[in-house]
Amino acid sequence: MNRNQPEDLKTRTRRFALRIIKLYSALPKSTVAQVLGKQMLRSGTSVGAHYREAMRARSTAEFISKVEGGLQELEETSYWLELLVESKIMDENRLSELMGETEQLTAILVTCMKNTKRKRT
């Protein structure tokens, strides 16, 4: 990783969390929307926390574990976003950019993890 990448990803995951928070605030107040939204809020805001923990890892194994945790949260966030669209609570066009960012962050973290594992062996 180059020296600027960790700060950039730190900022990017924080912006992602803020977008998730704004989406949650814009959801209808129906029970279903709020239940799905709270799940999305929890998983979407924890991605950056996992990344920050990974950056402070004391070992390569701990780094990989924290990045994997972030990946799990991204996958879960993607699931909740899909349910919001498929249940017609939110329009797909409104969420497409956020869903794309979820995919991009997933790809970045997978690359970080693979590179770390490759260096370790």
Reported confidence tier of residue 3, pLDDT bands at 50, 70, 90: very low
Mean pLDDT, residues 81-94: 97
Work out how many domains the chain is built from and give that number.
Answer: 1
- pLDDT at position 109: 96
45-75 pLDDT tens trace: 999 999 999 999 999 999 999 999 999 999 9
Reported confidence tier of residue 1, pLDDT bands at 50, 70, 90: very low
Under 8 Å CB-to-CB from 84, ≥6 apart: which residues?
27, 33, 36, 37, 40, 90, 95
Contact criterion met (CB below 8 Å) for 110 and 75: no
Domain membership of residue 70 as a residue range: 5-120
The pairs formed by 19-23 with CB atoms below 8 angstroms and a separation of 24 or more are 19/98, 19/101, 20/44, 20/45, 20/77, 20/98, 21/45, 23/90, 23/95, 23/98
- pLDDT at position 79: 98
Say how far apart CA 72 and CA 105 lie, in whole Å.
12
Give the CATH number, domain containing residue 38.
1.20.1440.60
Mean pLDDT, residues 75-99: 97
**Main-chain phi, psi angles of 84, to 5 degrees:** -60, -40
Contact criterion met (CB below 8 Å) for 104 and 9: no
The tokens of 64 are what? 């990989």
**Main-chain phi, psi angles of 88, to 5 degrees:** 65, 20
